[in-house]
Amino acid sequence: MSTRDGNAVADEHVFRSLLEHAGLCVASLDLGLRVVEANDDFVASFGDPTGRSFFDLLHPATHAPLRGQFERLLDGRRSRFVRRLAGIGPRGSVFPGDLTGIAVRGSAGQLALILIVVQPEKAETPANTLDRTRILTELDARILEGIAAGESTARLASRLFLSRQGVEYHVATMLKKLKAPNRVALISKAYSLGALSIASWPPKVSPDFVK
């Protein structure tokens, strides 16, 4: 692996090595962000992605923050990034994980493709032990739906007749309840638990999670 401007830049040899690494979900994207090649672990987690846009494999709630990161790879402002994601499995289930995107360059130094490595988050609790727990208040639910739809704190405060500090208080409470480090992880965790339905847009919290 070579370096450029202090950041790691993968070459094609490293890409091949990672693609064959068991336990990692690895795929290559062309410069239009369509999947060119994926290993068995990636297919097991996402289904057969060949020829599809990588964003087709992600929940819409995670599209906006990730698009900016990929744009920076494509225009050379970054050589890699690490972000949270909410992936969509082959049966429509949503799962959280960590995504690493890396610019892969050819022998002449030109951008050849984008390498993505996904580490799905392992479930911390047995299935269905949390997905029917009423852990949210009605106001929590409305704020969670707004965050998942991309609303800002100011917009949520105005719509729900709260102060910005009030919105932030409820967000902090939900971060603690769902054991999430930030808002993106909060949304990923909510989808993985079933609190937010993958079948609805704008996002909607299931009544089973509301006190």
* Residues 112-131 pLDDT 10s: 889 898 888 765 544 444 44
HEC sequence for 55-85: HHHECHHHHHHHHHHHHHHHCCCCCEEEEEE
Which stretch, 61-65, 98-102, 164-168, has highest mean pLDDT?
164-168
pTM (two decimals): 0.55
> pLDDT category, 4, cuts 50, 70, 90?
very low
Predicted local distance difference test score (pLDDT) of residue 197:
72
Please tell me which residue, 150 or 107, carries the higher pLDDT value: 150
What is the mean pLDDT of the segment spanning 22-37?
87
Please tell me which residue, 179 or 142, carries the higher pLDDT value: 142
**Which secondary structure element, helix H or strand E, spans residue 36, and what is its range?**
strand 35-38
Q: How far apart are CA 191 and CA 61, in angstroms?
A: 10
- Res. 6: pLDDT tops 60: no
Number of H helices, E strands in the chain: 7, 7
- Phi-psi group of 135: left, alpha or beta (phi > 0 → left; psi -120 to 50 → alpha; rest → beta): alpha
105-110 contacts, C-beta under 8 A, 24 or more apart: 105/9, 105/10, 105/11, 106/12, 107/11, 107/12
